Chains A and B, each alone.
Chain A
Amino acid sequence: MIELPAIRWGEPYRSLDVDEIVHFETGELVARVHVVGAGIIRRDAHKAKRARQALLAMPPAELIEKCKAAGELFENGTLSVGDSQQSPTDFIGQQSATTGMPLSMCQANMTKNAFVLKNMGQILDCLTRGLNLDTLARGYGEEGRGVTVSYQAQCDALGAVLPNNSPGVHTLWLPVIALQMGLVLKPGSSEPWTPYRIFAAMVEAGIPVEAFCLYPGAGADIGGAILVSCRRSMIFGGSQTVEQYAGNPKVQVHGPGFSKILLGDDCVDDWQRYVGLMVDSVYRNGGRSCINCGSIYASRHTKEIAQALAAKLGPIDVFPPDDPRAGLAAFTTEGAAASIWDALERDIEDPQTTHITANYGERLVENPPVAYLRPVVLHCGSPTAPAANREYMFPAVSVVECPQEKMLSAIGPTLVTTAITADENFRRDLIASRDIDRLNMGEIPTPQLDWLQPHEGNLFDFLYRSRALQIAP
């Protein structure tokens, strides 16, 4: 059992309110997290300036080096986390124990986060389009053509209300420290592990401890207080959360991705060539991410494609988290898997929709106190079928029959689109589409992210604003 105090600008705080986090299967106590109320968060927010000042005292190049060191420590070091020493194996075991994710998935996400930390310099170079980071530290600089360039920090610290389901998303806030802003984090209620270990690794690497606040716990009050008191925040949630914060310039919201693969008419007859890519896009990371593919659109061969996917995905079974074959994560919230299955069954009742994995055994596997959902492949006769644009927290994909010329008007907002086509006209339309955020042209699985590209808006643009600054000669 590990005790995780709240962190208030680097200072551990032991609260009288403690939440217990238990093993998803055995109920054994894994962690006690110290929970603070909204008042403490709001009061601490008044001191955010000190976090920025501490980071501004360190040149960006030095912060980048320290991030690299933190990446190494995060991946391989034994670190002081809460009241314990935590090895990488401990971390992976604890994360799996409270989230129900297979160890292999935890390991993969750890590698992903470490990669971003280790490549921070390059990532920032791309996010800022090659800006000399000293320009940010100083407030202004020289563009190189005799032009002054200035960026205004929009906050002293970024607030982040983090999810439980996908430890890979932590990559999104990692660059903040190197951009010389503090972090105010609310870890997911059953996944405090990544934020706490990253904090420990960064501090061990020499990043000022006063740059960090961590407020663990399950209460909605905590997230609400962070969003209200930080001038810039990111939040992860469902469609309702996206709707709630849409148009709020202070909040960058990350919700469902509804990511897709579009097969152009010029390539669709070769569909067999892309089955591996499609399976990988649906199944990688247990199908839990917003970047996993939820729909595949093609004008023909859709039934054959669905059957081919079902043949690969349908037999995938449930294994214990420590089994190397495990690729599916448990649903640890009581009733969640059954409720998702009910929603799917309602979709399947639609006359245009066929359940292609129906002959591969029961999809809902109840294994109290948890449940699993085995992969589902549906076929939709048209994009008007209710299942044509869904996203679930497990590998589920709808293969949708849709004429190429109607695809872009049918797909709706899509985080990642992999478009397999060499048709120049279609490519131009894809590039122009305002519904597509990340566009992969060609054979790139949807979860394969290029870290040198922005994700759901550029973090740099969110945190800094280009402005005029004139200096008298």
Chain B
Amino acid sequence: MNDTAQIASEKEIAAARALLDAHAVEMVAWHFHESTGCPFWLEKKSEMKFDPLQEIRSFDDLKKFDPFEDEWLRGGPVRRWVPKGLADKPVYVFETGGTTGIPKSRIALDDFRTDYSLFSETLPDKYFPRGANWLMLGPSGPRRLRLAVEHLAQHRGGISFCIDLDPRWVVKLIQKGWMEHLEEYKKHCIDQAITILSAGHDIRCMFGTPKLIESLCLALEERGTSLAEQGVTGIFSGGTEFTPQWTRFCVEELFGGPPEESGIYMTPTYGNTLMGLAASGPCHAANNYKITYYAPQPRAVIEVVDFDDTDRVVGYGQTGRAKLTTLTKEFFVPGFLERDEGEREQPYEKYPWDGISEVRPFHRLASATTVGVY
């Protein structure tokens, strides 16, 4: 937990937990009822040794499910993931991976809008002004992020500009060791961003991956200008590369100081296509830029679990693997073991449930993971 935040009271924690328990039961009832559930889970139900409709009475009961395997998301038919209760609604499909082979697909209807509308409430209007236009400096193509950021901008009354960025090509460049091509591709993306920023669109807010924010700032610096001069005041970013040291570098050197001095406010987020978006508690020099994420409960939950006994949550301050649970009407993911680890953090007043800090690639898988590629 961040040292300037207030620990949540027992009462607040209990209330949040009760809400989560009730929500978990409601979502299981939806996903495993013949009239509303999706073909995938209804088929799984027939293989289970327990009846989810009868035996899931709290969030903790979700441990009865086998861990969710994201490999299930590869290949079709994608309709098997669409709940019958939502079958007549327009459906999106978002993909992750796919540099080689079949990507993992997740269906979505409104989840991305809901997640980002909720996230919008965490953004300070002073730095993310209502009505301001946005720049989306991240992956394009069949990814949730592009549409989600666009929705965020629209939700706040603005319009989102975006660039073309194919992360699968970036991963291939890294795997081939074509570092000069990688550099040129990055420049190509940054050139697009600078062109948009300089085109008089009144862009004040942006999403960017850490590497691209850094490259954008350096490129602007080379041109004798800065993000602040370009009018940007609010940035959100995310991923395991968003470390305290990187934040410090951005704030102290690239932006020119904390928000009150530089006029630029940056907030980290953590998430993926399966779970959604976790916001961060306060992160600044006074707490050594420590970053702690809190999932948007009860729609999604982050637990920090023992590396070997993944049903056991570790103690506060202890290190464990991130375990994600998604509980929306569109998508049910019980206990997905993420490729990240971190420390379990105390609930605090704004988010009266557990958080995770110092998120980094899971050490047992780290060498096989290509992080922060774009």
Contacts and interface: CB of A to CB of B under 8 A. Distances in A.
Contacts of A46: 221-222
B366 to A, nearest CB: 11
Interface stretch (A33-41, A87-95, A411-419): A33-41
The 3 A-B pairs with the shortest beta carbon distances in the complex, nearest first, are: A16-B245, A39-B214, A17-B245
A224 interface: yes
Interface size of B as a range: 20 to 34
B179 A15 contact: no
A37 B179 contact: no
Given A16-B248, A224-B179, A227-B179, A43 B221 contact: yes
A228 interface: yes
Nearest to A18: B245
25 contacts: A15-B245, A16-B244, A16-B245, A16-B288, A16-B289, A17-B243, A17-B244, A35-B245, A37-B245, A37-B246, A37-B249, A38-B211, A39-B214, A39-B218, A39-B250, A40-B249, A40-B253, A42-B214, A42-B218, A46-B221, A46-B222, A224-B179, A228-B179, A228-B183, A240-B177
B254 A39 contact: yes
B253 A43 contact: yes
Nearest to A15: B245
Contacts of A36: 245, 249
Contacts of A228: 179, 183
Interface size of A as a range: 10 to 19
Contacts of B253: 40, 43
Contacts of B177: 240, 244
Contacts of A248: 180
A244 B179 CA distance: 9
A43 to B, nearest CB: 6
Interface string A15-31: 11100000000000000
A40 B246 CA distance: 9
B214 A38 contact: yes
A209 B244 CA distance: 28
A40 B179 CA distance: 19
Contacts of B250: 39
Nearest to A248: B180
Interface string B317-358: 000000000000000000000000000000000000000000
Nearest to A44: B253
Contacts of B221: 43, 46
Nearest to B253: A43
Contacts of A227: 179
Q: Which of B180, B250, B288 has the most CB of A within 10 A?
A: B180
B374 to A, nearest CB: 14
Contacts of A224: 179
B215 to A, nearest CB: 8
Contacts of A37: 214, 243, 245-246, 249
A218 to B, nearest CB: 12
A82 to B, nearest CB: 18
Interface string A111-155: 000000000000000000000000000000000000000000000
A35 B288 CA distance: 15
Contacts of B217: 39
Contacts of B214: 37-39, 42
Interface in A227-249: 227-228, 240, 244, 248
Interface in A413-466: none
Contacts of A42: 214, 218
A36 B243 CA distance: 11
B177 to A, nearest CB: 5
A284 B199 CA distance: 64
Interface in B111-158: none
Contacts of B222: 46
Interface string B69-113: 000000000000000000000000000000000000000000000
Q: Which of A16, A40, A42, A244 has the most CB of B within 10 A?
A: A16
Nearest to B289: A16
B28 to A, nearest CB: 42
Interface in B224-255: 243-246, 248-250, 253-254
Given A16-B243, A39-B250, A42-B214, 18 more contacts: A15-B245, A16-B244, A16-B248, A16-B288, A35-B245, A36-B245, A37-B249, A38-B211, A38-B214, A39-B249, A39-B254, A40-B249, A43-B218, A43-B221, A43-B254, A224-B179, A240-B177, A244-B179
